Amino acid sequence: MTDSTAGGTPFPTCAHGSCEPCGAKDLIHCQVTLKDRVFFTARLLPVLTIAGISLYLVSPWALAGWLVFAIVDMVFVELWALCSHCPHYGRPGKILKCVPFKPFYKLWKYQLGPMPLLKKVFFLGGFCVIFVGPFLPMIIYGQWVLLALYTPAFLAFIVVVQLFFCPRCVNLACPLNRVKPETRARFFEANPEIKKAWDEVGGQ
Protein backbone atom coordinates (compact mmCIF):
# COMPACT_ATOMS: atom_id res chain seq x y z
CA MET A 1 0.00 0.00 0.00
CA THR A 2 1.38 3.38 -0.98
CA ASP A 3 1.51 5.91 1.84
CA SER A 4 -0.14 8.94 0.30
CA THR A 5 1.52 11.23 2.83
CA ALA A 6 4.89 10.41 1.28
CA GLY A 7 4.07 11.08 -2.30
CA GLY A 8 1.84 8.97 -4.50
CA THR A 9 2.64 11.02 -7.63
CA PRO A 10 5.81 11.48 -9.72
CA PHE A 11 8.40 13.95 -8.50
CA PRO A 12 8.08 17.51 -9.87
CA THR A 13 11.34 16.86 -11.75
CA CYS A 14 10.01 13.70 -13.40
CA ALA A 15 9.51 13.88 -17.16
CA HIS A 16 6.71 11.30 -17.04
CA GLY A 17 3.12 12.24 -16.30
CA SER A 18 2.67 9.07 -14.23
CA CYS A 19 4.78 6.32 -12.71
CA GLU A 20 3.58 3.62 -15.12
CA PRO A 21 6.02 4.23 -18.04
CA CYS A 22 9.03 4.59 -15.73
CA GLY A 23 11.61 1.83 -15.76
CA ALA A 24 12.89 2.74 -12.29
CA LYS A 25 9.67 2.83 -10.26
CA ASP A 26 10.03 -0.75 -8.99
CA LEU A 27 13.77 -0.40 -8.37
CA ILE A 28 13.94 2.78 -6.33
CA HIS A 29 11.88 4.39 -3.55
CA CYS A 30 10.13 7.08 -5.60
CA GLN A 31 6.99 6.13 -3.67
CA VAL A 32 7.06 5.22 0.02
CA THR A 33 4.80 2.58 1.53
CA LEU A 34 3.53 2.34 5.08
CA LYS A 35 5.27 -1.04 5.26
CA ASP A 36 8.60 0.67 4.49
CA ARG A 37 8.06 3.17 7.28
CA VAL A 38 7.02 0.58 9.88
CA PHE A 39 9.91 -1.75 8.95
CA PHE A 40 12.47 1.07 9.22
CA THR A 41 11.10 2.37 12.52
CA ALA A 42 10.89 -1.11 14.04
CA ARG A 43 14.65 -1.54 13.53
CA LEU A 44 15.51 1.98 14.72
CA LEU A 45 13.51 2.19 17.97
CA PRO A 46 15.39 -0.58 19.87
CA VAL A 47 18.70 1.14 19.09
CA LEU A 48 17.53 4.52 20.35
CA THR A 49 15.83 3.01 23.41
CA ILE A 50 18.86 1.06 24.60
CA ALA A 51 21.16 4.04 23.98
CA GLY A 52 18.80 6.28 25.96
CA ILE A 53 18.72 3.87 28.92
CA SER A 54 22.51 3.68 28.95
CA LEU A 55 22.95 7.43 28.98
CA TYR A 56 20.25 7.91 31.63
CA LEU A 57 22.07 5.46 33.92
CA VAL A 58 25.21 7.55 33.52
CA SER A 59 23.35 10.78 34.21
CA PRO A 60 20.00 12.34 33.27
CA TRP A 61 22.10 15.23 31.96
CA ALA A 62 23.99 12.88 29.65
CA LEU A 63 20.69 11.68 28.24
CA ALA A 64 19.42 15.25 27.91
CA GLY A 65 22.59 16.34 26.07
CA TRP A 66 22.36 13.39 23.68
CA LEU A 67 18.67 14.06 22.99
CA VAL A 68 19.28 17.77 22.36
CA PHE A 69 22.14 16.96 20.00
CA ALA A 70 20.05 14.35 18.16
CA ILE A 71 17.10 16.71 17.75
CA VAL A 72 19.26 19.61 16.56
CA ASP A 73 21.14 17.30 14.20
CA MET A 74 18.01 15.79 12.65
CA VAL A 75 15.88 18.93 12.51
CA PHE A 76 18.56 21.35 11.32
CA VAL A 77 21.92 19.81 10.34
CA GLU A 78 20.79 16.57 8.67
CA LEU A 79 17.92 18.39 7.01
CA TRP A 80 20.47 20.79 5.48
CA ALA A 81 23.26 18.34 4.74
CA LEU A 82 21.34 15.29 3.55
CA CYS A 83 17.59 15.70 3.23
CA SER A 84 17.67 18.89 1.14
CA HIS A 85 19.25 16.82 -1.67
CA CYS A 86 16.47 14.20 -1.68
CA PRO A 87 13.76 14.31 -4.39
CA HIS A 88 11.15 13.77 -1.67
CA TYR A 89 12.29 17.12 -0.27
CA GLY A 90 11.48 18.67 -3.64
CA ARG A 91 7.83 17.65 -3.51
CA PRO A 92 5.26 20.45 -3.02
CA GLY A 93 4.52 21.46 0.56
CA LYS A 94 6.48 22.75 3.54
CA ILE A 95 6.74 19.44 5.42
CA LEU A 96 9.23 16.70 4.50
CA LYS A 97 7.74 13.21 4.28
CA CYS A 98 9.98 10.26 3.51
CA VAL A 99 10.80 6.71 4.67
CA PRO A 100 11.74 7.61 8.26
CA PHE A 101 8.97 9.25 10.28
CA LYS A 102 10.46 12.74 9.90
CA PRO A 103 7.64 15.28 9.45
CA PHE A 104 10.08 18.19 9.59
CA TYR A 105 9.60 21.68 8.23
CA LYS A 106 11.65 22.37 5.11
CA LEU A 107 13.97 25.09 6.34
CA TRP A 108 16.39 24.89 3.43
CA LYS A 109 16.12 25.21 -0.33
CA TYR A 110 15.90 21.98 -2.34
CA GLN A 111 19.27 21.07 -3.87
CA LEU A 112 19.06 18.90 -7.00
CA GLY A 113 22.78 18.11 -7.17
CA PRO A 114 25.11 15.90 -5.11
CA MET A 115 26.28 16.63 -1.56
CA PRO A 116 29.57 18.53 -1.26
CA LEU A 117 32.26 17.09 1.00
CA LEU A 118 31.46 19.43 3.91
CA LYS A 119 27.87 18.22 4.05
CA LYS A 120 28.99 14.59 3.98
CA VAL A 121 31.27 15.28 6.95
CA PHE A 122 28.45 16.91 8.93
CA PHE A 123 26.03 14.08 8.11
CA LEU A 124 28.41 11.23 8.94
CA GLY A 125 29.71 13.07 12.02
CA GLY A 126 26.21 13.47 13.40
CA PHE A 127 25.44 9.82 12.68
CA CYS A 128 28.55 8.71 14.60
CA VAL A 129 27.74 10.86 17.64
CA ILE A 130 24.14 9.63 17.84
CA PHE A 131 24.64 5.94 17.07
CA VAL A 132 28.31 5.10 17.71
CA GLY A 133 28.72 7.47 20.67
CA PRO A 134 26.55 5.37 23.05
CA PHE A 135 29.12 2.56 22.88
CA LEU A 136 31.49 4.70 24.96
CA PRO A 137 29.48 4.97 28.22
CA MET A 138 28.55 1.29 27.98
CA ILE A 139 32.24 0.37 27.85
CA ILE A 140 33.55 3.03 30.25
CA TYR A 141 30.90 2.37 32.93
CA GLY A 142 30.78 -1.39 32.45
CA GLN A 143 27.21 -1.58 31.21
CA TRP A 144 27.85 -5.01 29.75
CA VAL A 145 24.24 -6.15 29.56
CA LEU A 146 23.25 -3.02 27.68
CA LEU A 147 26.30 -3.39 25.45
CA ALA A 148 25.28 -6.99 24.68
CA LEU A 149 21.83 -5.72 23.70
CA TYR A 150 22.94 -2.59 21.87
CA THR A 151 25.59 -4.19 19.68
CA PRO A 152 23.30 -6.66 17.84
CA ALA A 153 20.48 -4.08 17.69
CA PHE A 154 22.81 -1.52 16.12
CA LEU A 155 24.32 -4.04 13.70
CA ALA A 156 20.85 -5.32 12.74
CA PHE A 157 19.75 -1.75 12.01
CA ILE A 158 22.81 -1.12 9.82
CA VAL A 159 22.36 -4.42 7.96
CA VAL A 160 18.64 -3.85 7.37
CA VAL A 161 19.21 -0.30 6.12
CA GLN A 162 22.08 -1.35 3.86
CA LEU A 163 20.26 -4.38 2.45
CA PHE A 164 16.69 -3.12 2.12
CA PHE A 165 16.79 0.67 1.98
CA CYS A 166 20.11 2.03 0.70
CA PRO A 167 19.98 -0.06 -2.53
CA ARG A 168 16.60 1.56 -3.34
CA CYS A 169 17.04 4.99 -1.75
CA VAL A 170 16.05 7.82 -4.06
CA ASN A 171 18.49 10.21 -2.38
CA LEU A 172 21.41 9.45 -4.68
CA ALA A 173 23.47 12.16 -2.98
CA CYS A 174 23.72 10.24 0.30
CA PRO A 175 27.24 8.84 0.91
CA LEU A 176 25.64 5.58 2.08
CA ASN A 177 23.51 5.18 -1.07
CA ARG A 178 23.90 1.81 -2.81
CA VAL A 179 21.59 2.18 -5.82
CA LYS A 180 22.93 0.24 -8.82
CA PRO A 181 24.46 2.31 -11.65
CA GLU A 182 21.86 1.08 -14.15
CA THR A 183 19.01 2.07 -11.81
CA ARG A 184 20.65 5.43 -11.21
CA ALA A 185 20.87 5.93 -14.99
CA ARG A 186 17.16 5.13 -15.40
CA PHE A 187 16.25 7.58 -12.65
CA PHE A 188 18.37 10.33 -14.23
CA GLU A 189 16.73 9.61 -17.58
CA ALA A 190 13.30 10.12 -16.03
CA ASN A 191 14.47 13.22 -14.11
CA PRO A 192 16.55 15.32 -16.53
CA GLU A 193 16.66 18.34 -14.20
CA ILE A 194 18.39 16.28 -11.52
CA LYS A 195 20.73 14.74 -14.09
CA LYS A 196 21.66 18.22 -15.32
CA ALA A 197 22.47 19.38 -11.78
CA TRP A 198 24.73 16.33 -11.30
CA ASP A 199 26.40 16.75 -14.69
CA GLU A 200 27.22 20.38 -13.88
CA VAL A 201 29.46 19.25 -11.02
CA GLY A 202 30.91 16.25 -12.82
CA GLY A 203 28.35 13.65 -11.66
CA GLN A 204 30.02 13.10 -8.29
Q: What is the pLDDT of residues 166-195, one digit of tens each?
A: 999 999 999 999 999 999 998 998 899 999
In 3D space, the residue among 71, 168, 80 whose CA is nearest the CA of residue 123 turns out to be 80
Q: How many DSSP H helices and E strands does the chain contain?
A: 8, 0
d(CA 73, CA 172): 20
d(CA 35, CA 17): 25
Q: Tell me what the pLDDT averaged over the chain comes to.
A: 89
95 beta partners: 105
User: What is the predicted pLDDT for the residue at 44?
Assistant: 93
Whether residue 121 is predicted with pLDDT greater than 80 in this model: the reply is yes
Q: At what angle do helices 181-190 and 192-200 cross, to 10 degrees?
A: 110
Residues found in the chain: 204
Amino acid identity at 98:
C
Q: Which whole number is the average pLDDT over 23-36?
A: 79
Helix (H) or strand (E) holding 190: helix 181-190
In 3D space, the residue among 73, 191, 203 whose CA is nearest the CA of residue 131 turns out to be 73
C-alpha distance across the termini of the chain, in Å: 34
User: What is the predicted pLDDT for the residue at 21?
Assistant: 67
